[in-house]
């Protein structure tokens, strides 16, 4: 029987993902923590990234630093 994580990763990677597997998966939504998202933005700027893959599917909930 698969765990919920294995089912999610299997669907996203189009493979039979199991615990301890390395998978390359399609991402439905990316989330960053409000306290560390600044580091991600800084890294993107340093890499001179012009645009993220889909801005509508990036979530940064502000619930810690308010």
For 26-60, what is each residue's pLDDT tens digit? 889 999 888 888 898 899 999 999 988 898 999 98
N residues, the chain: 66
Cβ-based neighbour number of residue 44 at 10 Å: 13
36 and 18 in a common domain = no
Task: Give the residue among 60, 5, 49, 53 at the shortest CA–CA distance from 28.
Answer: 53
| Total number of domains in the chain | 2
15 and 40 in a common domain = no
pTM more than 0.85: no
Which residue segment(s) compose the domain that 50 sits in?
A: 32-66
41 and 18 in a common domain = no
- End-to-end Cα distance, the chain: 42
pLDDT of 17 over the 70 cut: yes
């Amino acid at each position: 029987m698969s765990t919920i994580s294995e089912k999610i990763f299997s669907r996203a990677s189009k493979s039979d993902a199991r615990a301890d597997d390395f998978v390359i998966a399609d991402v439905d939504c990316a989330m960053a923590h409000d306290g560390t998202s600044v580091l991600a933005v800084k890294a993107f700027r340093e890499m001179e990234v012009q645009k993220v893959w889909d801005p509508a599917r990036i979530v940064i909930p502000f619930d810690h630093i308010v």
